[in-house]
Amino acid sequence: MANDHQMWGIHGGRTGDADTLFLQGGCVALGWHLVGDLGKLPANREGFKNRVAEAYPDMKQGAVPVSAGQLYRFVHEAKSGDIVVYPSKSDKHIHIGRIEGDYENSPKQEISYPNHRKVKWLKDLPRTHFSQGALHEIGAAMSFFAVKTYVGEFWAAIEGKDVSVPLAQDETVILASAIEDQTSVYVLKKLAEELKGGSFEDFVAHLLQAMGYKTQQPKRGKGADGGVDITAHKDELCIEPPIIKVQVKSTEGKNNDKDVSALYGKLNSGEKGLFVTLGEFTPPAENFARGKSDLRLINGDELVKLIFQHYEKFDSRYKGILPLKRVYVPDPEEAEE
């Protein structure tokens, strides 16, 4: 078998609910059943985008082209003879097959997954036969995607070659870093989408409470806070120093030195300033704060680290907005020993 065919990865739902359909039905399939027969849509991405938006009017605007792109690739870019890699959640194995035939709309076979491509399964191997990098690539968040980086490893498996790859030290570092980076991006996006303005102020106040602070928030309204969104204290009566005045920005852009100096100008003797943003700070803003021992800046990345540290103390509302699960990844420092 020549390895000049495209290689694709596919998932069978968040809980692996399409596993039986895939492995016993000899196919791979996608959902989005409300879109209808994909073969009747114009053979271009714009046509797919329009139909997805029409079928799912409540779908977030940014998700429409992502969903449409996956459907378009499944119908028009994936070709007969291409290879598909399926990580099964049921048996924890990696199944590798060859696409045979064109797109079919088969809602009667499985109503939730009506968009089919016939597949001849070639290999069924435990995950331990593959490197962490290869497993990470086919663990992509999308349902249907191109496999690019570890194509050679999966072809070796098809050809019956030994694909057991020792986990290199640098790969351990990359794996752990990639997982953390992806989760950080997810958290920042969720905060930006779900918590705007005053809602983000409430979230930061809750985070400070999880860190052991008592907080107070001025009544909202134009000019009501005087440039201070939250006041934080360590004592129950909120009168003992240090008193921390907090400015919160839910925007994802850069905050300049004027923003930072405005908060600093609100501090009285003995008070501390804390500026929290989902975005970043300009170099002049960072330089301004660097010379102030009573002023602290927290950008989006630092905010996410604090969320990870104190997540277990969050109430159910914020855990619902940020549904995270503790996982274990290799510790690069320990692996060096």
CA–CA separation, 164 vs 257, rounded Å? 53
Residue 174 has pLDDT above 60, yes or no: no
Query: Is residue 93 helix, strand or coil?
Result: strand
Residue 211 has pLDDT above 70, yes or no: yes
Give pLDDT tens digits for 91-143. 789 999 999 999 999 877 678 899 999 999 999 988 878 887 888 889 877 89
Res 337: pLDDT: 43
Residue 335 has pLDDT above 70, yes or no: no
Res 12: pLDDT: 87
CB neighbour list of residue 137: distance below 8 Å, 6 or more residues apart: 9, 147, 148, 149, 150
Residue ranges of the domains in the chain? 7-165, 187-321
Res 223: pLDDT: 44
The domain 187-321: what is its CATH number? 3.40.1350.10
The domain 7-165: what is its CATH number? 3.10.590
Q: What is the mean pLDDT of residues 161-188?
A: 66
CB neighbour list of residue 220: distance below 8 Å, 6 or more residues apart: 198
pTM of the model: 0.54
Residue 168 has pLDDT above 70, yes or no: no
CA–CA separation, 15 vs 31, rounded Å? 14
Q: Are strands 280-281 and 254-255 parallel, antiparallel or unpaired?
A: parallel
Give pLDDT tens digits for 258-298. 999 999 999 998 899 999 999 889 999 999 999 899 999 99
Residue 254 has pLDDT above 70, yes or no: yes
Residue 232 has pLDDT above 90, yes or no: yes
Q: What is the mean pLDDT of residues 196-203?
A: 87
Residue 20 has pLDDT above 50, yes or no: yes
Res 333: pLDDT: 54
Res 330: pLDDT: 65
Residue 1 has pLDDT above 50, yes or no: no
The residue among 304, 301, 295 whose CA lies nearest residue 280 is 301
